[in-house]
Amino acid sequence: MNMKLVKTALLSGVVSLLFICGVSYAQPLNEDIQEKTNVNKEAKMNKTFKELGLTPDQQKQIKEQFDVNNAKAKEIREQIRTKREKLKQEMESDTVDRNKINKLVTEVGDLNSTQLRQRVESILLMKQVLTPDQYKRLESIHDARTKGIRGRPHFKRGDSHGPVDEKSADY
């Protein structure tokens, strides 16, 4: 009986150790995976260009726009992440400084507003490059892609209630 208990404890200890070692040696995305992701994005963009029937000039304008917008968006996301981390540290601090917290909340809000303005500006620039028909096709392509895998509805971040059933919605 006692030996069974020792074996069980030893086995669970080994399993725990293996799990902890696996987690501790987990690596962030390596360059190969990031490269494949970039290639997939490029392939998806080229496929969309074909589906829309874009001219070479339109493709060039959109790619330039895409690169500029991605760089700006990445910078803003990093700033938001940094400010939120500072906010979290300030909230967990033993001595809470409401002024610092309010300032950080305002800064995060301002960055979120900047992010939204940049996205709207990007859409407006896209509308300038595309014809009305191309833009409508782009919207339908986007809607089809965001619908989700195998027809399941796609939930956006923060949408815990799922899609709204328009027949039963109270509004």
pLDDT for residue 148: 61
d(CA 28, CA 108): 26
pTM of the model: 0.59
pLDDT for residue 129: 92
Fold for 55-144, please state it: Four Helix Bundle (Hemerythrin (Met), subunit A) (1.20.120)
Q: Categorise residue 158: left if φ over 0, alpha if ψ from -120 to 50, beta otherwise.
A: left
Q: Fill in the DSSP letter of residue 53.
A: T
d(CA 50, CA 55): 9
The CA-based diameter of the chain, rounded to the nearest angstrom, is: 79
Give 135's Cβ-side CA count (13 Å radius): 11
Query: What sign results for the dihedral spanned by CA atoms 86, 84, 97, 102?
Result: positive
pLDDT for residue 21: 53
pLDDT for residue 43: 85
Pick out the chain residues at pLDDT < 70.
Answer: 1, 5-38, 148-171
pLDDT for residue 20: 60
In contact, 64 and 128? CB cutoff 8 Å: no
74 CB neighbour count, 10 Å cutoff: 10
